[in-house]
């Protein structure tokens, strides 16, 4: 299964790290590693830059914010390091955090290091080497829902995360905040989205009585599978948007990625999850299973799913904004403007009760 492990690449031009300064930092702050420092990049992420480091046989991952304009709190390395430090002992799917620094002379921005979780990450396609058929896909997608339910069962007060977020008023802040972000990041070649924003503002459900830690980007390509048993999830990555809030908002964000075979072709073509393949739980089945596991009332999933789609559209638009204005040359970002339009169209179908 080694050929299915998450692959690294040469560091993209303009995103290089100062190897000398970084090596000095590692020798001072990480026990054990000796030998030359190897630096490569994980090329698949759209947000924070993620690097693979190997030094003296020890493998680590470094996370730092992207270059260019960014939202004020969207790339808070210190906050991400804090949540990993608190959650790792009680939710072992979290990578083990190793060190954090704000020293400007190392790379000009805050960054942190964590242990690498070695395993398989499924992205836009299903590798035939896995031999997964419909039965395996059903088991894997059920397991994804189960791990989310496990996260939402964590006692965040006992974990020391009582001040990690403000769950009161969370849904309203999210609707208003993401609406402002979309208007600020909109480029002339994407839809206005005002009808979706108005509907979300009018249809907000009551406050959740049971806030939890929420990941806010929980999807298949953010989990790590055991190479010895690819149906076993051994890691959950990318905690940059984690907070305290309504757990159904977390599920909503996952559902936005949960593309089905009967979805519009432009959404299936851009899917980052393989849930359109035979055997996978449908969105409805995922919602029902989550409700069974948690006992939560699931009767307003039209609002939550619509919000998840809109939020994903805003994230895509914020990234596309950077490409549109020449702040990044990453060619993957060029197609995101079309994805924004498709997501907003799907959100409108949810509003009108015509979405699956």
Contact 138, 279 (CB under 8 A): yes
Using alpha carbons, select from 251, 257, 185, 247 the residue that is nearest to residue 213: 247
Q: Quote the CA–CA distance of 230 and 321 in Å, as a whole number.
A: 36
**Residue-wise pLDDT tens digits, 121-154:** 998 889 999 999 999 999 999 999 999 999 999 9
- Least confident span in 1-5, 41-45, 348-352: 1-5
For 60, phi and psi rounded to 5 degrees? -135, 165
Tokens of 328: 């990044």
**Quick one: pLDDT band at residue 324, thresholds 50, 70, 90?**
confident
Look at the block and give the residue holding tokens 């197609």.
335
pLDDT for 177 beyond 50: yes
pLDDT at 168 over 50: yes
* Beta carbons within 10 angstroms of residue 135's beta carbon: 10
Residues 271 and 161 sit within 8 Å (Cβ to Cβ): no
What's the 3-state SS for the chain? CHHHECCCECCCCCCCCCHHHHHHHHHHHCCCCCCCEEEEECCCCCCCEEEEEEECCEEEEEEECCCCCCCCCCCCHHHHHHHHHHHCCCCCCCCCEEEEECCHHHHCCCEEEEECCCCECCCCCCCHHHCCCHHHHHHHHHHHHHHHHHHHCCCCCCCCCCCCCCCCCHHHHHHHHHHHHHHHHCCCCCCCCHHHHHHHHHCCCCCCCCCEEECCCCCHHHEEEECCEEEEEEEECCCCCCEEECHHHHHHHHHHHCCCCCCCHHHHHCCCCCCCCCCCCCHHHHHHHHHHHHCCCCCCHHHHHHHHHHHHHHHHHHHHHHHHCCCCCCHHHHHHHHHHHHHHHHHHHHHCCCCC
Decide which of 69 and 158 is more confident: 158
Q: Which two tokens stand for residue 200?
A: 């979300």
| Domain 128-351: top CATH class | alpha beta
Q: Where are the domains of the chain?
A: 2-115, 128-351
Q: 97-101 and 223-226: which strand pairing?
A: unpaired
pLDDT at 33 exceeding the cut of 70: no
Indicate the range of 43-52, 161-170, 203-212, 286-295 predicted with least confidence: 43-52
Residue 264 has pLDDT above 60, yes or no: yes
- Alpha-carbon dihedral 263, 269, 272, 277, rounded to 10 degrees: 60
Calpha distance 117→120 (Å, rounded): 9
Question: What is the band of 1 on the pLDDT scale with cuts at 50, 70, 90?
Answer: low
The average confidence (pLDDT) of the chain is 91
Q: Is the pLDDT of residue 204 over 70?
A: yes
pLDDT given at position 25: 94
Q: pLDDT > 90: what percent of the chain?
A: 76
**Rounded mean pLDDT of 158-183?**
95
Q: Which two tokens stand for residue 135?
A: 């039965």
CATH homologous superfamily for the domain 2-115: Phosphorylase Kinase; domain 1 (3.30.200.20)
- Token duo for residue 42: 């994980």
Measured CA distances, 261 to 181, 271, 283, 354 (Å): 30, 11, 11, 16
Q: For residue 21, how far is the Cα from the chain centroid?
A: 29
Region 345-350: what's the mean pLDDT?
96
pLDDT per residue over 53-73, tens digit each?
999 889 999 999 887 545 444
């Amino acid at each position: 299964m080694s050929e299915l492990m998450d692959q690294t690449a040469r560091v993209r031009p303009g995103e290089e790290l100062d190897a000398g300064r970084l090596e000095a930092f590692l020798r001072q702050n990480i026990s054990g590693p000796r030998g030359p420092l190897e630096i490569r990049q994980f090329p698949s992420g759209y947000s924070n830059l993620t690097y693979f480091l190997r030094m003296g046989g020890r493998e680590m991952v470094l996370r730092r914010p992207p270059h260019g304009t960014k939202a004020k709190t969207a790339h808070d390395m210190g906050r991400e390091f804090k949540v990993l430090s608190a959650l790792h002992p009680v939710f072992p799917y979290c990578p083990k955090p190793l060190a954090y620094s704000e020293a400007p002379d190392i790379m000009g921005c805050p960054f942190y290091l964590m242990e690498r979780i070695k395993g398989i990450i499924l992205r836009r396609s299903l590798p035939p080497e896995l031999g997964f058929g419909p039965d395996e896909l059903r088991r894997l997608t059920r397991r994804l829902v189960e791990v989310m339910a496990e996260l939402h069962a964590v006692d965040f007060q006992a974990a020391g995360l009582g001040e990690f977020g403000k769950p009161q008023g969370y849904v309203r802040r999210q609707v208003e905040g993401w609406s402002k972000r979309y208007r600020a990041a909109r480029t002339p070649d994407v839809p206005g989205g005002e009808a979706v924003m108005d509907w979300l503002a009018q249809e907000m459900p009551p406050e959740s009585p049971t806030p939890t830690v929420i990941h806010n980007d929980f999807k298949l390509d953010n989990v790590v599978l055991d190479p010895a048993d690819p149906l076993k999830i051994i890691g959950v990555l990318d905690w940059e948007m984690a907070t305290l809030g309504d757990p159904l908002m977390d599920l909503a964000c996952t559902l936005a990625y949960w593309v089905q075979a009967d979805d519009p072709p432009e959404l299936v073509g851009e899917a980052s999850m393989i849930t359109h393949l035979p055997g996978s739980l449908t969105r409805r089945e995922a919602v029902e299973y989550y409700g069974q596991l948690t006992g939560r009332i699931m009767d307003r999933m039209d609002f939550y799913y619509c919000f998840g789609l809109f939020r994903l559209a805003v994230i895509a638009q914020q990234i596309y904004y950077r490409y549109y204005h020449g702040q990044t040359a990453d060619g993957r970002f060029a197609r995101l403007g079309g994805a924004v339009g498709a997501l907003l169209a799907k959100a409108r179908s949810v509003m009108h009760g015509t979405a699956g």
